[in-house]
């Protein structure tokens, strides 16, 4: 048995070991409650507290009049108790005096109507007045606390682009034109790249170009795509401006909370991630999805991809129900621990919650918190203490990195392009296709890195390319080179269809991958949602088919019924020293898993987890000579897993079959490492 390792310094989070943290909104409570809060935070082992996220109207109650008294008290109170601070710049929501004096900062929807204040984030990302005012606040906050010893991290704004990513006002239109001018140089180039000959859209002058405001028919998809890119860049520019102000007064790390989660797709985080000192994500289980736990694992793996494999921070999650879904489900006993440790297993070194104390007022009064309305004699509080104890026992895991043999390519730009207004089938959505591929891998016990199409691929035995509709020439060439050199790839339908400008790649689909896959497709043949067709392997397929011919590929499965009977639906091609699979239809989950099982077998992928319904997740984190095996049992029956080492959760020495009770988690520091 190896001796207990030293804590690692490799974790990028501002606290030694694994961090437990929360958002705290003391402005909602009286100072007598603050004292109680901090005592309970200590009892719960809270290391890091995010404050001043929505502080603007308190800090600057009237224009240019700043009042730091209560924030000072909270900062010093936390400091006295040894709790580190994740300090918000306070700019997330403008105060009413600002929107009243300057209604022109309010965002405008695509139909030209303004959005009133009354909610949050009511500001246009291109508004110079908003920016000037917000940066003035950041300057004051940074001057005040930039060197404060309790401040461990800066939290810029909050979930940038959650509500206000797309603004269509005149100010935004001007900014969009400037962005386009920088990108294309001349209006002729823009005309060419946007294909404005279609529907008489040729522009003679920049001033004629608009954001994609609500029109009578479908708009120009290249314009819409560029508006997505612009909107993401515009907020990134805003983030950079806040960072520049903070840097004048502080050397502390700076970040902002991303929203890598289902349904929010406004920012291209591949462009953002290199700009934050530490990747931080907010994640909430979404019960509108079929399998929220699978989506949690996916989001965590994608967040790790953004952190280029390094540890990252879960900046927000919930202890139990949220308050913004149609049905806000409470967490079952043990679920809080499993959810949190799934993030840790997949690379998080910090687990933080929104929020510390459940609000008594406001739109989030029904949102769970670490400290519920009912106080400490509650299941949630006990679950929080249990998590805290587990994180303490797992401190040594901090800084280690996750092992994965499979890479899955993910692209926000492809997401935007895939879901253009006019497309072959509205039933094909990007995230759904990505999640299906991911779930098949997860159910086969495989750990997957979710990475950018520009990522280094040669470290993977298999690369999965789901619905990569928009792909650049360079990205396609890198995928081809990877396979030519002996890599294995699995591409799913609607990939490789358009270039960077959203222009169809001609001479047969799937344009960019035709040679790699050894097929050519002359026509898409979408199926109505209720139609299912059989393949000669017995598999069932739906939603999508293609009039496909193999050129060099071998057919693996063909349709035996439906509009393209006899045509291959699944193919495999030898390309250079490697293998390229193509799925030209949406296979039912069991059939998809059969294909993926064969692909991972041929690629030599060694799954860590058992094959099943995904209710057992096994992930390994490694650091130098140590490794940690996370075995998470979401199921209702006990399971057994073979391992040897020390179970850090129970402290038991284990060798051979380890029992993981239903709903529980084991983390084994492995002996062999």
Active site residue 316: yes
What whole-number distance in Å separates Cα of residue 601 and Cα of residue 586? 21
| Residue ranges in 330-389 that form contacts with ligand GAL under rule CB under 6 A | 354, 364, 367
* Among the listed residues 40, 142, 246, 322, the single contact to ligand GAL using CB under 6 A: 322
**Catalytic member of 316, 396, 443, 480:** 316
CB of 257 to ligand GAL, least distance (A): 6
What is the SS3 assignment for 177-217? HHHHHHHHCCHHHHHHHHCCCHHHCCCCCHHHCCCCCCCCC
For ligand GAL, which is the closer residue by CB, 162 or 389? 162
35 is catalytic: no
- Catalytic one of 60, 159, 546, 617: 159
- Residue closer to ligand GAL (CB basis): 302 or 525: 302
- Residue 385 near residue 414, CB atoms below 8 Å: no
Told to check if 158 binds ligand GAL by CB under 6 A, we report yes
Q: What is the side-by-side order of every strand in the sheet holding 540-542?
A: 532-534, 540-542, 586-587
- Using CB under 6 A, which of the segments 107-115, 156-164, 188-196, 433-441 binds ligand GAL? 156-164
Q: Residue 3 or residue 361: which is nearer to ligand GAL going by CB?
A: 361
- Binding span for ligand GAL by CB under 6 A among 155-163, 190-198, 299-307, 543-551: 155-163
Least separation in angstroms between residue 86's CB and ligand GAL is 13
Structure tokens at 329: 């489900």
Find the shortest distance in angstroms from Cβ 67 to ligand GAL.
23
Q: Please, what is the minimum distance in Å from the beta carbon of residue 356 to ligand GAL?
A: 12
Task: Using the minimum distance from each CB to ligand GAL, give the nearer residue, 320 or 573.
Answer: 320
322 vs 455 by CB, closer to ligand GAL: 322
Question: Judged by CB, which is closer to ligand GAL: 160, or 660?
Answer: 160
Tell me which residues in 65-94 interact with ligand GAL (CB under 6 A): none
Nearer to ligand GAL, 92 or 553 (CB): 92
> Using CB under 6 A, which of the segments 158-166, 588-596, 612-620, 665-673 binds ligand GAL?
158-166
* Adjacent-strand bridge partners of 654: 645
* Separation between Cα atoms, residue 92 and residue 119, nearest integer Å: 11
Question: DSSP string of 327-377?
Answer: S-PPPPTTHHHHHHHHHHHTTEEEEEES-SB--SSSTTTTS--SB-TT-SS
Q: How far apart are CA 619 and CA 448, in angstroms?
A: 10
Applying CB under 6 A, what is the total number of residues that bind ligand GAL? Answer: 10
CA dist., res. 29 & res. 360, Å (int): 9
Rounded Cα distance between 95 and 59, Å, is: 10
Minimum distance from residue 34 beta carbon to ligand GAL (Å): 19
| Interaction residues for ligand GAL, span 269-308 (CB under 6 A) | 282, 284
Q: How far is CA 277 from the centre of its chain?
A: 17
Neighbours of 332 (CB within 10 A): 12
* Min separation Cβ 322 and ligand GAL, Å: 5
- The rounded distance, in Å, linking the Cα atoms of 558 and 547 is 11
Q: How far is the CB of 288 from ligand GAL (least distance, A)?
A: 14
Token pair in block for residue 53: 């996220």
Q: Do 368 and 35 touch, CB atoms closer than 8 A? A: no
Distance CA 129, CA 98 (A): 9
Of 447, 448, 409, 466, nearest to 581 (Cα)? 466
Find the binder of ligand GAL among 47, 60, 140, 159 (CB under 6 A).
159
Residue 83 CB, shortest distance to ligand GAL, in Å, is: 20
Strands (DSSP E) found in 561-612: 568-575, 578-583, 586-587
Nearer to ligand GAL, 125 or 496 (CB): 125
CB 494 within 8 A of CB 415: no
**Residues at the interface with ligand GAL (CB under 6 A):** 158-159, 162, 282, 284, 316, 322, 354, 364, 367
Active-site residues: which are they? 159, 316
């Amino acid at each position: 048995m190896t001796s207990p390792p030293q804590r690692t310094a490799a974790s990028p989070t501002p606290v030694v070991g694994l961090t437990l943290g929360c958002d705290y909104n003391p402005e909602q409570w009286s100072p007598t409650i603050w004292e109680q809060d901090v005592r309970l935070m200590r009892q719960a082992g809270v290391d890091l507290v995010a404050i001043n996220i929505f502080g603007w109207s308190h800090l600057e109650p009237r224009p240019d009049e700043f009042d730091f008294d209560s924030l000072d008290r909270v900062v010093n109170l936390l400091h006295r108790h040894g709790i580190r601070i994740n300090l918000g710049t306070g700019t997330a929501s403008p105060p009413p005096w600002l929107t009243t004096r300057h209604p022109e900062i309010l965002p405008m929807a695509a139909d030209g109507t303004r959005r009133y204040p009354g909610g949050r984030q009511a500001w246009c990302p291109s508004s110079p007045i908003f920016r000037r005012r917000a940066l003035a606040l950041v300057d004051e906050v940074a001057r005040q606390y930039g060197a404060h010893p309790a401040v461990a991290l800066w939290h810029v704004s909050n979930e940038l682009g959650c509500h206000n990513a797309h603004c269509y006002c005149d100010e935004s239109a001007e900014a969009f034109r400037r962005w386009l001018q920088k990108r294309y140089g001349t209006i002729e180039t823009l005309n060419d790249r946007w294909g404005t000959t279609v529907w008489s859209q040729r522009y003679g002058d920049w001033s004629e170009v608009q954001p994609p405001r609500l029109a009578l028919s479908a708009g120009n998809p290249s314009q819409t795509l560029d508006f997505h890119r612009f909107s993401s860049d515009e907020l990134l520019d805003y983030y950079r401006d806040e960072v520049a102000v903070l840097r004048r007064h502080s050397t502390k790390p700076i970040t902002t909370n991303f929203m890598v989660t289902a349904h929010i797709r406004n920012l291209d985080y591949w462009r953002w991630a290199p700009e934050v000192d530490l990747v931080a994500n907010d994640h909430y289980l979404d019960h509108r999805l079929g399998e929220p736990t699978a989506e949690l694992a996916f989001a965590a793996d994608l967040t790790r991809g953004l952190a280029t494999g390094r540890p990252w921070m879960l900046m927000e999650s919930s202890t139990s129900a949220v308050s913004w879904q149609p049905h806000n489900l409470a967490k079952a006993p043990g679920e809080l621990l499993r959810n949190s440790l799934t993030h840790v297993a997949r690379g998080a070194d910090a687990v933080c919650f929104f929020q510390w104390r459940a609000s008594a007022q406001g739109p989030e009064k029904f949102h769970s918190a670490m400290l519920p309305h009912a106080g400490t004699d509650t299941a949630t509080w006990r679950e929080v203490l249990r998590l805290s104890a587990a994180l303490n026992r797992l401190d040594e895991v901090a800084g280690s990195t996750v092992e994965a043999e499979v890479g899955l390519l993910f692209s926000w730009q492809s997401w935007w392009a895939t879901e253009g207004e006019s497309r072959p089938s509205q039933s094909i959505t990007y995230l759904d296709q990505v999640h299906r591929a991911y779930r098949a891998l997860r159910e086969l016990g495989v750990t997957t890195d979710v990475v950018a199409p520009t990522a280094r691929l040669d470290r993977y035995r298999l690369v999965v390319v789901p619905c990569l509709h928009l792909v650049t020439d360079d990205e396609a060439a890198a995928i081809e080179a990877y396979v030519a050199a002996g890599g294995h790839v699995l591409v799913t339908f609607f990939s490789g269809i358009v270039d960077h400008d959203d222009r169809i790649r001609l001479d047969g689909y799937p344009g960019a991958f035709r040679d790699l896959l050894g097929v050519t497709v002359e026509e898409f043949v979408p199926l109505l949602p209720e139609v299912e067709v059989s393949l000669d392997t017995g598999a069932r397929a739906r939603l999508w088919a293609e009039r496909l011919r193999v050129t060099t590929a071998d057919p693996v499965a063909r349709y035996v019924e439906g509009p393209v009977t006899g045509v291959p639906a699944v193919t495999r091609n030898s390309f250079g020293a490697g293998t390229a699979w193509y799925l030209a239809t949406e296979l039912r989950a069991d059939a998809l898993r059969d294909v993926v099982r064969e692909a991972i077998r041929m690629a030599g992928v060694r799954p860590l987890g058992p094959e099943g319904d995904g209710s057992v997740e096994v992930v390994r984190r490694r650091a130098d000579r140590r490794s940690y095996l996370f075995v998470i049992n979401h199921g209702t029956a006990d399971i057994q897993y073979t391992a040897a080492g020390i179970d850090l959760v129970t402290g038991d020495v284990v060798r051979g079959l380890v029992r993981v009770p239903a709903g529980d988690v084991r983390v084994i520091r492995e002996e062999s490492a």
